[in-house]
């Protein structure tokens, strides 16, 4: 019986979906699929990959490869999924998908020793949407059968338009080939993103499919292929993996490769490092067609395409009012957003930024993100409301020498024992019960009670109750940056 291990690659930043997607809260953790599930793209990807268990397979624990910075976002969303277990491999920096898959293959082999099995990896990005889950599961099961034979299976997306934003898979069906799995295609070659004329030609000729970056293959096959085509990536990743540390202190299973070694691994994708070299080689590669309403949500126009459109073609989210407007996407996060007499627009509102663009230009949002980077604007990375492993904080207001935050702490959670060199803080409890360490004192405060933390005082905020704790924090001082913090104790390893 085959051991099948879902591998979720969760390292993207989703810059084209700014301002909703930011580097500290990227698009895979957002609810954008357009259905009624209220699940993030990450959660939906995990559930789809786990749908292939059956009589002929043993489904192993899911492997999530994500950035160290996103570990608690991923963990919180994993905990919302029922009956799905996952281990998290934490990259200290983004080195693209080839090192990520190599890490996953090494880990899967190590975990499979007790099964005496060569695990089959079902590899999928975390930031795509699928409308027909049954068709997706069917394609995955067919791909597992291909991988069992020792070949590499890739899912090819049925093209619906002459799309210039995707790479293509050129195939040839060989139905008489006894070695070819029924219904699969032989991959002839991979082609780069074409211009519009070439994309139209591909569509008319047939035999060309979009490359969605989804693969099914044995761990040993991937490691053999990366050894042949990019031994430098394999050797460096193996060295980082051998120097790994394992952290189970928070109830999750975090695996951290050695940081210094990992940061030296060449930055390369799965496709460029290995997959594009496989056609015609001794690493057979076959394609399974996927016609399941796939979309990679690469820009806001794609979010409009998969969203629920009203009679005027508008997709709306949040507190919105529309009048005499058509074929537009309006996403309101924190206030009323209204539109009158507009067409084919994208309007995205968050608490600290607003984006307005045409649907046709939505791919170019990445240029704005580049400007934010050049100007060192915090809006590239952070929302006004920032998630933390213990809860979140929302920077409500700030001015010269003061900042006001609304802070929520999860039941049973606590912030680090810490101190600030340049600011003092006033804490006012507005909901729940707070256990506060203030120097040598330990206080228990409830609604409408408050305390003052002097500059330089060691302190900690904790929630001993069973309901969320909310406080208002008023900071005052000469410097109010988030980096003015000295941690003495921290259960989250920061």
Q: Between residues 165 and 493, which one has the greater pLDDT?
A: 165
For residue 443, being part of any structural domain is answered with: yes
Are residues 165 and 77 part of one domain? yes
| Cα angle: 166, vertex 172, 173; to 5 degrees | 120
Count the neighbouring beta carbons within 10 Å of the beta carbon of residue 407.
20
Of the pLDDT bands very low, low, confident and very high (cuts 50, 70, 90), residue 182 is: low
Distance CA 249, CA 246 (A): 9
Mean pLDDT for 53-62 is 84
Are residues 115 and 220 part of one domain? yes
For residue 32, being part of any structural domain is answered with: yes
Distance CA 416, CA 488 (A): 7
CATH value at residue 411? 2.60.120.10
Count the neighbouring beta carbons within 10 Å of the beta carbon of residue 8.
27
- pLDDT for 337 equals 98
Mean pLDDT for 51-80 is 90
Examine the fold and report which residue of 265, 290, 315 is the final residue of a domain before the chain moves on: 290
pLDDT tens digits, one per residue of 230-270 = 999 999 999 999 999 998 877 789 999 999 999 999 999 99
Average pLDDT, the chain: 93
Work out the widest C-alpha separation in the chain, in whole angstroms. 80
Nearest to 274 by CA among 159, 102, 119: 102
234 in Cβ contact with 223 (< 8 Å) = yes
- pLDDT for 180 equals 53
Of the pLDDT bands very low, low, confident and very high (cuts 50, 70, 90), residue 175 is: very low
Mean pLDDT for 160-186 is 76
For residue 301, being part of any structural domain is answered with: no
pLDDT tens digits, one per residue of 400-412 = 999 999 999 999 9
Mean pLDDT for 57-61 is 90
Q: Report the sign of the C-alpha dihedral through residues 371, 166, 128, 306, in that order.
A: positive
96 in Cβ contact with 89 (< 8 Å) = no
pLDDT at 340 over 90: yes
Full domain range(s) for residue 170: 2-290
Output b/e per residue, 233-246; b: 16+ Cβ within 10 A: bbebbbbbbeebee
- pLDDT for 83 equals 86
Distance CA 36, CA 439 (A): 48
> Above pLDDT 70, what percent of the chain?
97
For residue 58, being part of any structural domain is answered with: yes
Sheet with 486-489, edge to edge strand ranges: 441-445, 434-438, 459-462, 417-419, 486-489
**438 DSSP β-pair partners:** 441, 459
The token pair that represents 360 in the structure block: 């046709």
Residue with tokens 């009670």: 449
Are residues 79 and 55 part of one domain? yes
Of the pLDDT bands very low, low, confident and very high (cuts 50, 70, 90), residue 176 is: very low
- pLDDT for 492 equals 83
pLDDT tens digits, one per residue of 294-328 = 999 999 999 999 999 999 999 999 999 999 999 99
Count the neighbouring beta carbons within 10 Å of the beta carbon of residue 248.
8
pLDDT at 288 over 60: yes
Q: Is the pTM of this model over 0.75?
A: yes
Of the pLDDT bands very low, low, confident and very high (cuts 50, 70, 90), residue 183 is: low
Return the HEC string of the chain: CEEEEEEEEECCCCHHHCCCCECCECHHHCCCCCCCCCCCHHHHHHHHHHHHCECCEEECCEEEEEEHHHHHHHHHHHHCCCCCCEEEEEECCCCCHHHHHHHHHHHHHHHHHHHCCCCEEEEEECCCECCCHHHHHHHHHHHHHHHHCCCEEEEEECCCCCCCCCCEEEEECCCCCCCCCCCCEEEEEEECCCCHHHHHHHHHHCCEEEEEEEEEEEHHHHHHHHHHHCHHHHHHHHHHHHCCEEECCCCCCEEECCHHHHCCCCCCCHHHHCHHHCCCCCCCEEEEEECCCCECCCCHHHHHHHCCCCCCCCEEECCEEEECCECCEEEECCCCEEEECCECEEEEECCCCEEEEEHHHHHHHHHHHHHHHHCCCHHHCCCCEEEECCEEEEEEEEECCEEEEEEEECCCCECCEEECCCEEEEEEEEECCEEEEECCEEEEECCCCEEEECCCCCEEEECCCCCCEEEEEEEEECCCCCCCCEEEECCCCC
pLDDT at 11 over 90: no
What is the length of the chain? 494
Mean pLDDT for 136-160 is 95
470 in Cβ contact with 433 (< 8 Å) = no
- pLDDT for 88 equals 96
pLDDT at 211 over 80: yes
Lowest mean pLDDT among 163-167, 212-216, 333-337: 163-167
pLDDT at 483 over 60: yes
Are residues 120 and 85 part of one domain? yes
Are residues 256 and 113 part of one domain? yes
- pLDDT for 376 equals 93
Are residues 200 and 108 part of one domain? yes
Lowest mean pLDDT among 179-188, 257-266, 272-281: 179-188
pLDDT tens digits, one per residue of 417-472 = 999 999 999 999 999 999 999 999 999 999 999 999 999 999 999 999 999 999 99
pLDDT tens digits, one per residue of 194-208 = 999 999 999 999 999
Q: Between residues 177 and 73, which one has the greater pLDDT?
A: 73
Are residues 60 and 197 part of one domain? yes
Distance CA 349, CA 321 (A): 13
Are residues 400 and 356 part of one domain? no
CATH value at residue 12? 3.90.550.10
First to last CA, the chain: 42
CA distances from 243 to 148, 240, 268 (A): 31, 5, 21
Query: What is the pairing mode between strands 120-125 and 208-218?
Result: antiparallel
Mean pLDDT for 16-45 is 91
Residue with tokens 């109830």: 251
- pLDDT for 248 equals 85
Are residues 411 and 319 part of one domain? no
Are residues 442 and 346 part of one domain? no
Are residues 74 and 50 part of one domain? yes
- pLDDT for 427 equals 97
- pLDDT for 421 equals 97
Number of domains present in the structure of the chain? 3
Of the pLDDT bands very low, low, confident and very high (cuts 50, 70, 90), residue 2 is: confident
**394 DSSP β-pair partners:** 385, 406
pLDDT at 178 over 50: no
Are residues 349 and 212 part of one domain? no
């Amino acid at each position: 019986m085959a051991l099948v291990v879902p591998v979720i690659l969760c390292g993207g930043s989703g810059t084209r979906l700014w301002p909703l997607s930011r580097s500290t809260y990227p698009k895979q953790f957002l609810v954008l699929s357009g259905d009624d599930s209220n699940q993030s793209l990450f959660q939906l990807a995990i559930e789809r990959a786990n749908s292939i268990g059956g009589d002929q397979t043993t489904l192993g624990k899911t492997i999530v490869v994500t950035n160290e910075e996103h570990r608690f976002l991923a963990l919180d969303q994993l905990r919302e999924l029922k009956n799905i277990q996952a281990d998290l491999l934490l990259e200290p920096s983004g080195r693209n998908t080839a090192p990520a898959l190599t890490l996953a293959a090494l880990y899967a082999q190590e975990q499979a020793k007790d099964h005496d099995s060569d695990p089959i990896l079902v590899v999928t990005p975390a930031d795509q949407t699928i409308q027909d889950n049954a068709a997706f599961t069917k394609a995955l099961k067919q791909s597992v059968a291909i991988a069992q034979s020792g070949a590499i299976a890739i899912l090819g997306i049925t093209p619906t338009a002459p799309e210039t934003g995707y790479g293509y898979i050129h195939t040839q069906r060989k139905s008489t080939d006894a070695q070819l799995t029924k219904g699969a295609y032989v991959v002839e070659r991979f082609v780069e993103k074409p211009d519009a004329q070439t994309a139209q030609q591909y569509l008319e000729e047939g035999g060309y499919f979009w490359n969605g970056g989804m693969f099914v293959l044995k761990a040993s096959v991937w490691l053999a292929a990366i050894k042949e085509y990019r031994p430098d990536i394999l050797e460096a990743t193996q060295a980082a993996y051998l120097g790994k540390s394992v952290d189970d202190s928070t109830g999750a299973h975090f695996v951290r490769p050695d940081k210094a070694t990992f940061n030296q691994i060449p930055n390369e994708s799965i496709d460029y490092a290995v997959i594009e070299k496989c056609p015609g080689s001794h690493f057979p590669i076959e394609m399974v067609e996927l016609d399941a309403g796939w979309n990679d949500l690469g820009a806001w126009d794609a979010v409009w395409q998969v969203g629920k459109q009203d009679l005027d073609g508008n997709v709306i989210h949040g507190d919105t009012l529309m009048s005499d407007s058509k074929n537009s996407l309006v996403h309101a996060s924190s206030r009323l957003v209204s539109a009158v007499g507009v067409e084919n627009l994208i309007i995205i509102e968050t608490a600290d930024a607003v984006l307005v663009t045409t649907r046709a230009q939505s791919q170019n949002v990445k240029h704005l993100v580049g400007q934010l980077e050049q100007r060192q604007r915090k809006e590239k990375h952070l929302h006004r409301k920032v998630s933390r492993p213990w809860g979140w904080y929302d920077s409500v207001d700030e001015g010269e020498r003061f900042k006001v935050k609304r802070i929520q702490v999860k039941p049973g959670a606590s912030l680090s024992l810490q101190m600030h060199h340049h600011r003092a803080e006033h804490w006012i409890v507005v909901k729940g019960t707070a256990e506060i360490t203030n120097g040598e004192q330990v206080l228990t405060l409830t609604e409408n009670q408050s305390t003052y933390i002097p500059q330089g005082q060691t302190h900690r905020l904790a929630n001993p109750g069973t309901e969320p704790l909310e406080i208002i924090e008023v900071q005052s001082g000469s410097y109010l940056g988030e980096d003015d913090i000295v941690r003495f104790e921290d259960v989250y390893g920061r």
